[in-house]
A and B are shown apart, each in its own frame.
Chain A
Amino acid sequence: MSEFDRVSGLLDDYRAKKLSRRGLMARAAALGIGASAVGSLVARESAVAARQDAPTPGGMLREGYDLDFSRMDPVATTWYDPAFYSLFETVAIDSPEGDLEPMLAESWEISEDGKQVTFKIHEGAKFHSGRAVDAPAIKEVYDAIKNPDNGSPLAVLFTPVESIEAPDATTLVLKMSNPYYEVMNVVKTGYWAIVNIATRDANKETFGQSIVDGTGPFSFKEWVPGSHVEVTKWAEYPGSIVPYYTNKGPAYLDGIKWTAILEGAQRAVQIENGEIDTLRNPLLQDVARLQGNPDLTVQSYSEPSGYIFGQNFERTDLDFHEVKMRQAISHAIDRNAIVKALLFDLGSPLFGPITPADKYYDKEVEQFNQYDVEAAKALVAELGWTPNADGILEKNGVKMAFNLTVQDESFNRDLGSVIQAQLKEIGMDVTVETLDRGSYFGKLSEGTDSYLFYYLWAVPIDVVILFVGTATKGAPNWGRASVPAVDDAIKAWQTAGNEEELVAAGNQFQMSIAETLPTIPVVVRNTVWVNRPNVRGWLPHAYDIYPHYNDVWLAQ
């Protein structure tokens, strides 16, 4: 099922000319589909392509979203939602092939030693308020991210950047204290989106909630928390230089309205009813039903996310600081069953920290963490734990009983209860403790026995580092994990000076996690997008967490 989605997704991209024939073949091959099979599919597709009309401007796109919205201030928000992709742009962007392409920067050059990046900023871009987007304007944004008072959520990823200089209007230079090739993967994300800092400074209270000043093809109209965000076409949009966009000028759509549909079953109902045109993440259990609906297009991609299960290293009485104990727990988790039952095959097991779809993925991690109850039992026995009369493990009078803290959400609850049941098989007595949003992170910072956490980030390794590195012990390394091999790998990742070193460091990192388990990776889910037939040019792809709106138009 998921394979089919991926293929149809690829074909959709190809259909809209977002994917070259070469790119299509390469990615189909990665999915294990032979070239001839793809060739025949493409041939059939050409008939469809011929029927496609030319884009017509106008219309309001109604998008259903599965989360509530965060403040639209990239410098200090808690998350970036799809609306960010209509309001803001970044210096560079990921293409559907997974290559970094120009957006606000025409080009960039990384110095030989990997300690300096020089951007050539594209001339002609403007903020909604009219100000020109030049190197100094971008410098202001990056400086704001570095300023701790602003509380930029992942400013820690910018730590190696020592200074940002704008010698002239089109040149922006990042100077770093050590080789940091990874910086390009940092500045392409939503927290590094370019806003007009002058407007932001002048409207401290209202920026991001009733005033937004970005460079995207749409301008801000309204945000009602818990309900919706609305943007309108910005007629003076100077156009885009992103190579993979077919539309280089102003947007086709008159506007976009995102609605937060927080009641899961309602998402499927509303796209079926045509109350919305496009939808992110129906409940996974509803996907098969939507796929059976001839009016709807369903696309599904592995998300750069993951569910991780962390143990508190300070519970030494339970041996959580022992790698064998963590390996035992990991072997007791039947990831394939979870993918089948809870994700309805719309996801994959995680044997290492990041999704198999990531370009840095190292397949070697799969030698670890396979479901093996006997191995798990042997490992706990090696540590001296033996089952008591009730079948619960005991050692020196200590029972293997602990809390699993999960944030209150239906999937988290289900996953928590499955882990609880699976660990019971090897004699662990787990109590699932469901906490609301207001107390979950407080509890994690305070320290809990074990926790379940879901992360989502365009470059997964960059955030996983925070959950496992000694440097962030406490929060967000809630398990107080401290593993020298992992710290070494983090250091290698954060000082890699070129692509080759980065890939090597990425592999080192994944292997160290898979083997020593500072947190236990569990599964990764797919992002699912559903469209009504009138939505055209809508092309989500696996390398970006949301699609961009420049090419989207509505057929009559």
Chain B
Amino acid sequence: MSNAATPAPFVTSAGTGAPRGPLRVAWSRLSANKLAMVGAIVALLYIVVGIAGPWFTPYDYAKQDLMHANLPPLSPGHILGTDQVGRDMFSRLVLGIRISLVIGFGVTIVSMVIGTIAGSVAGYYRGAIDTVISGIVEITWGFPLVLIAVILSGSVGRGLLAVVLAIGFVNWAGFARIMRGEVLSLREAEYVQAARATGTPDARILVRHILPNAIAPALVMGSYYVALAIIVEAGLSFIGLGAQAPLPSLGVMVAEGRNYMLQNHWVTTVPGVAILIIVLALNLLGDGLRDILDPRLRNR
């Protein structure tokens, strides 16, 4: 389990803001990138399945049938087979996609919010505040995720919330690092200096003038972090600290299925491949977004 980020060198998009329709510009650039489009479509498919899928599944995800456990795919009535207690793998996979996405986005939102606030405050005020926040970032890098997960499962109870908060609390440092760098350079920009000269409060300057121009790299990073969180949750599931049974996340399904690998490998293969595909898609999408937002790459 790792929480190392994929911090690619981002170049600020500040000042390149086209006066009208930046979204449309971005979209036209994204749609020109085939791989990124594939990533976007697959990710979208997952989201649709995650949101709507569970209403259309043939079985309840927790419904057991002990007399029909460990069926291989294409068994009658169970297109993807059943797991060790006879639950329908297809129904669980669909719900697992939802749970994994909730974890992926939940973690990303938590870490992005904490990281953006901490990073921009550090970059804006510099000095002692920066030193303190950077120190906390360093502790966070080294702090055992498992310890945080154990504490949270004790205080907020086992389950999704604990998982999301635990992974989020460890991963915010990546966002903080990026935001700090962006804000550090932006705070010297002329329009910021001007705002400061007119006595605009710091908070307003940060929120109104700096953040909108600094947030793009963090958003790109976010698409990688959704993927990362899904993988990290799988790792936590290995230790038993992932989503709580009978709720399936894709990670929990692989982790629980691994004991049955020798006789019915499908119980790990199916959710494992589902993880692989979504991680692949999100990375392709992230690459595409980065290309759009990085003028130097774009010009090549």
A–B contact at 8 Å CB threshold (below):
yes
Residues of chain A having any CB pair with chain B under 8 Å: 264-265, 268-269, 283, 285-286, 288-289, 334, 337-338, 340-342, 408-410, 413-414, 416-418, 420-421, 432-436, 438-439
Q: Does B100 contact A (CB under 8 A)?
A: no
Q: Are A285 and B85 in contact, CB atoms less than 8 angstroms apart?
A: no
Task: Flag the segment in B38-46, B59-67, B126-134, B214-222 that touches A.
Answer: B59-67
List CB contacts (< 8 Å) of B250-300 with chain A: 256, 258-263
Q: Which residues of A contact B86 (CB under 8 A)?
A: 341
Kindly state whether residue B77 has any CB partner on chain A within 8 Å: no
Q: Which of B56-85 contact A (CB under 8 A)?
A: 62-64, 66-67, 69-70, 84-85
Q: Which of B22-30, B90-98, B110-118, B240-248 contacts A (4 or more CB under 8 A)?
A: B240-248
Q: How far is the CA of A421 from the CA of B60 in the complex (A)?
A: 12
Q: Judge whether A417 and B66 touch: CB under 8 Å.
A: no
In the complex where A420-B246, A434-B245 touch, is A341 in contact with B66 (Cβ < 8 A)? yes
Highest count of chain A CB atoms <10 Å: which of B240, B258, B260: B240
- B258 adjacent to A414 (CB under 8 Å): no
Q: What are 7 A-B contacts defined by CB distance under 8 Å?
A: A265-B258, A269-B262, A286-B263, A289-B262, A342-B84, A417-B85, A432-B246
Given the complex, which residues of A lie within 8 Å of B260, measured CB to CB? 285
What is the CB-to-nearest-CB distance from A435 to chain B, in angstroms, rounded to a whole number? 8
* Residues in A neighbouring B66, C-beta threshold 8 A: 334, 337-338, 340-342, 418
- Give the docked Cα–Cα distance between A333 and B268 (Å): 28
A421-B259 CB under 8 A given contacts A433-B158, A439-B154: no
Known: A285-B260, A342-B66. 5 other contacts (CB 8 A): A265-B261, A283-B259, A285-B263, A417-B62, A433-B158
Q: A337-B66, A337-B67, A341-B66 are in contact. Are A417 and B262 (CB under 8 A)?
A: no
Interface 1/0s, chain B 195-214, versus A by CB < 8 A?
Answer: 00000000000000000000
| Contact indicator B64/A421 (Cβ below 8 Å) | yes
A residues within 8 A CB of B258?
A: 264-265
CB distance from A488 to the nearest CB of B (A): 37
- Rounded to whole angstroms, the CA-CA distance of A435 and B162 in the bound complex is 13
**What residues on B are CB-neighbors of A334 within 8 Å?**
66
User: Is B14 at the interface (CB under 8 A from chain A)?
Assistant: no
State how many angstroms separate the Cβ of B72 from the closest Cβ of chain A: 14
Given the complex, which residues of B lie within 8 Å of A417, measured CB to CB?
A: 62, 64, 85, 245-246
Shortest Cβ distance from B268 into A: residue: A265
| B150 is an interface residue with CB less than 8 A from chain A | yes
Q: Give CA–CA (A545, B63) in the complex, Å.
A: 37
Cα–Cα distance between A289 and B70 once the two chains are bound (Å): 15
Are A434 and B262 in contact, CB atoms less than 8 angstroms apart? Answer: no
Residues in B neighbouring A433, C-beta threshold 8 A? 158
State whether B245 touches A432 (Cβ < 8 A).
yes
Contact B262 A268 (CB under 8 A): yes
Chain A nearest Cβ from B192, distance in angstroms = 49
Docked-complex contact A264 and B67, CB < 8 angstroms: no
Judging by beta carbons under 8 Å apart, are B85 and A286 in contact? no
* Alpha-carbon separation in the docked complex, A205 to B246 (Å): 44
Q: A413-B245, A417-B85 are in contact. Are A341 and B69 (CB under 8 A)?
A: yes
A-B pairs, top 4 by smallest CB distance, nearest first, are A341-B66, A408-B240, A337-B66, A421-B64
B262 and A265 form a contact (CB under 8 A) = yes
Expressed in whole angstroms, the Cα–Cα distance for A479 and B69 within the complex equals 32
A264 to B261, CA, bound (A): 10
Known contacts being A436-B240, A439-B154, is A410 close to B259, with CB within 8 Å?
yes
Question: Please, which residue of chain A has its CB at the minimum distance from the CB of B86?
Answer: A341
Known A-B contacts A342-B84, A408-B240; the reply to A285 vs B259 at CB < 8 A is: yes
Residues on the B chain within 8 Å of A264, using CB: 258-259
Give chain A's interface secondary structure class: helix
Residues of A within 8 A of B246 (CB): 417, 420-421, 432
**A434 and B240 contacting across the interface, CB-CB below 8 Å:** yes
Query: In the complex, how many angstroms separate the beta carbon of B140 from the nearest chain A beta carbon?
Result: 23
Q: Which residues in B have their C-beta under 8 angstroms from that of A420?
A: 62, 246
A421 CA / B64 CA spacing, docked (Å): 7
In the docked arrangement, what's the CA distance between A285 and B261, Å? 10
* Contact A340:B63 (CB < 8 A) given known A285-B259, A408-B240: no
A285 to chain B, nearest CB (A): 6
Across-interface contacts of B67 in A (CB, < 8 A):
337, 340-341
Cβ-closest chain B residue relative to A439: B154
Nearest residue (CB) in B for A435 is B158
B150/A436 in contact, CB under 8 A: yes
Point out the residues of chain B lying under 8 angstroms from A416, CB to CB: 245
**What is the distance, in angstroms, from B228's C-beta to the closest C-beta of chain A?**
24
Question: B262–A342 contact, CB under 8 A?
Answer: no
A340 to B66 Cα, complex, angstroms: 8
CB distance from B155 to the nearest CB of A (A): 12
| Contact of B85 with A342 in the complex, beta carbons under 8 Å | yes
What chain A residues lie within 8 Å of B241 (beta carbons)?
A: 436
Please name all residues of chain A whose beta carbon is closer than 8 Å to the beta carbon of B70 when the two chains form the complex: 285
Which residue from chain A places its CB closest to the CB of B154 in the assembled complex? A439
B120-159 CB contact bits vs A (8 Å, 1 = yes)?
Answer: 0000000000000000000000000000001000100010
- For B263, the chain A residues whose CB sits under 8 A away are 285-286, 288-289
The chain B residue sitting closest to A432, CB to CB, is B245
Q: Which residues of A contact B240 (CB under 8 A)?
A: 408-409, 413, 434, 436
Q: Complex Cα distance A264/B255, Å?
A: 12
- Chain B residues with Cβ below 8 Å from A288 are 263
State A265–B64 Cα separation when bound (angstroms): 23
Per the bound structure, the CA–CA distance linking A420 and B240 in Å amounts to 18
Docked Cα-Cα span, A286 to B256, in Å, equals 15
Given contacts A289-B263, A414-B84, A432-B245, contact A421 B62 (CB under 8 A): yes
Question: Which residues of A are found within 8 Å of B63, using beta-carbon distances?
Answer: 421
Which residues of B are found within 8 Å of A421, using beta-carbon distances? Answer: 62-64, 85, 246
Q: Which residues of B contact A414 (CB under 8 A)?
A: 84-85
Report the bound CA distance from A283 to B70 in whole Å: 15
Complexed CA–CA distance, A432 and B256 (Å): 16
Give the distance in Å from the alpha carbon of A265 to the alpha carbon of B262 in the complex.
7
Docked-complex contact A418 and B259, CB < 8 angstroms: no
Min Cβ gap B82→A in Å is 10
- B contact residues around A268 at 8 Å (CB): 262
Q: Which residue of B lies closest to A290 (CB)?
A: B262
CB of A265, distance to nearest CB on chain B (Å): 5
What residue in chain A is nearest B83 (Cβ atoms)? Answer: A414
CB distance from B245 to the nearest CB of A (A): 5
Q: Interface centre among A269, A341, A409, by most B CB within 10 Å?
A: A341
Chain B: CB-nearest residue to A263: B258
Q: Which residues of chain B come closer than 8 Å to A269, judged between CB atoms? A: 262
CA distance A525 to B241 in the complex (A): 26
